[in-house]
Amino acid sequence: MADAWRAARSVPGFTQAARLHFIEPSPVLQAKLAERYVDQDPIFLDQFEDIPRDAPVLLIANEWLDCLPVQQYARVGDAWHERVIGLDEAGELAFGLNADALPPEINPDHSAYV
């Protein structure tokens, strides 16, 4: 947010017209954001649906984007396997590989899968 706000200052009138809304459930992080952006008088919301709809919205969703699912693949011998997360013998989360290789027509030998 600091980088985006710094860039916004280069547009005349932008920061004066903008109203900062944060969707942040943590009271500790709300306090830190309120202190950091005290001059902008930030507003804290409980959920995405609470964003006001009476003005244009510029949404910066860094943490949300970090949570999107990603598929990863690893090459074992001549075949590609999807990387998965499961439970190990102790019941803890652990990375593993799907035992079934991807069909050859789906995984031609391209560096994009590395």
Of all residues in the chain, the percent with pLDDT exceeding 70 is: 92
Query: 83 and 56: one domain?
Result: no
Query: 77 and 59: one domain?
Result: no
Query: 9 and 55: one domain?
Result: yes
d(CA 25, CA 44): 8
pLDDT at 68: 75
Tens digits of residue pLDDT in 63-110:
777 777 778 888 898 888 999 999 999 999 999 999 999 887 776 555
pLDDT at 110: 52
* Residue 100 belongs to domain spanning: 73-113
Instruction: Determine contact, residues 107/73, Cβ cutoff 8 Å.
Output: yes
Query: 87 and 34: one domain?
Result: no
Query: 77 and 41: one domain?
Result: no
Query: 6 and 61: one domain?
Result: yes
Amino acid occupying residue 40: Q
pLDDT at 107: 60
Query: 78 and 99: one domain?
Result: yes
Number of independent structural domains in the chain:
2
Largest CA distance in the chain: 59
Q: pTM to 2 decimals?
A: 0.55
